[in-house]
A and B are shown apart, each in its own frame.
Chain A
């Protein structure tokens, strides 16, 4: 890690062709902005010959990212080719490995079929039915916060509210809800990441998860159709005969897709307000800005720094020739700071015009299906916060996640004031 930190200091002196931005240490130090700024300026479609993840292309401009997103016939998400993150799926073929089919890492036509079965469950019309429950629970979490005393915002608010959102979506047994967070970590974790001790342990825990959901499915299919996701899938025409591993893959995808993203938007949003007191003042003066602010918070945080594709044939992007088989990384965090597509991108403005026009949810056929759920959760959190607290202060340096994929915080000390 020491050498990586030395690299960070070296940014100005390294030749552009030697830049490797995909170093978790850069993100953990919160330094990625300067690196991407240089790539956008000097070499916006950049080839890195070697990294801990092998060779890869960095796509750093908003418009080029959009081009790659829209060209899914050439730029594949297929998990067997490498999937959607810069690191290839490690558990495949490993002894004790277990792969769950998830449509985020599939190409059409399979992707399309699966997405259509899940999409109505997180569509706005259905979310309306969940809103009151989410609001009530969010209020309880906020009411229990110690006033005037330091605590960890990530654990007590961001993780807790996100877990509750997912538990409400699934009508998951309430006291067991942190299992959802655990399974999300396990599904995306590896022995190397320290989440599990071995591949075998990962498999065991995912089987436990599978058995748990099987039990819920069996209960729900016997009961009356209800508005939770499991019941809807158990009773839905298109989903009731879904092979079990597919059902499980879809469930885990929703947990994983909703977990780190929503959590880190809640944490990152607070930090942004803390660091921009004039924006916090605007919010206090006019809470009707909240929906617009939420879009700006999601852009500002960009909780997934990238998505990855694999080229199925040679293709030109931004004047460079990407070769068949190449790994292509779309850096959303860079596109969301691209001065050619976003006015004053380095300013956090809760009343920003066209705040919805950001890349954090991706574009094209894989565009985040949970986007409205995430926005609703964030709106509710901020509406409820404004009803209760005059001010929230971040009182120490937050800890950033050591990852080039999840862009977020593992710890953020705060004090809330009545």
Chain B
């Protein structure tokens, strides 16, 4: 089962192991990792599952599709960067085993 490390804004690390096919948003919410709200239930509608993909992983995960709903929403996220993604749009697979996701101070 692939592992994800969520790194909180203060540096605290939370490691979770989930079934392939689970989204990174569900991985966080189901395991009660603080820092990801996911208010829309993973429907790419609220942008409260904003994370920054660690540099080493951004190629494997990929950026948000230009002109996708994800790209439209994420531009409003606080402290938006090149590595910003919505965790509900990242589906875990064995290739992403070890993924590192950094979290913002809080979700807006």
Contact = CB atoms under 8 A, between A and B. Distances in A.
Interface in A297-355: 354
A68 to B, nearest CB: 11
Interface in A155-188: none
Interface stretch (A41-49, A116-124, A393-401): A116-124
A357 interface: yes
A364 interface: yes
24 contacts: A66-B45, A69-B45, A108-B72, A112-B72, A112-B76, A116-B76, A119-B76, A119-B78, A122-B108, A124-B78, A124-B106, A124-B107, A124-B108, A125-B78, A356-B37, A356-B48, A357-B40, A363-B40, A363-B46, A364-B45, A364-B69, A365-B76, A369-B108, A372-B108
Contacts of B38: 356
Interface of B: 37-41, 43-48, 69, 72-73, 75-76, 78-79, 105-108
Contacts of B44: 70
A367 B75 contact: no
A237 to B, nearest CB: 16
Contacts of A125: 78-79, 105-106
Nearest to B80: A116
B73 A123 contact: no
Contacts of B43: 66, 70, 363
Contacts of B76: 112, 115-116, 119, 365, 369
Contacts, number: 58
A356 B25 CA distance: 14
Nearest to A118: B76
A378 B9 CA distance: 25
B75 A70 contact: no
A112 B45 CA distance: 15
B23 to A, nearest CB: 15
Nearest to A365: B72
A372 B106 contact: yes
Residue in B38, B39, B75 whose Cβ sees the most chain A Cβ within 10 Å: B39
A288 to B, nearest CB: 14
B78 A123 contact: yes
A357 B37 CA distance: 9
Contacts of A66: 40, 43, 45
A117 B20 CA distance: 39
Interface string A53-97: 000000000000010011000000000000000000000000000
Task: Rank and list the top 6 A-B pairs by shortest CB-CB distance, nearest first.
Answer: A124-B106, A363-B45, A123-B78, A356-B39, A123-B108, A125-B105
Contacts of A119: 76, 78, 108
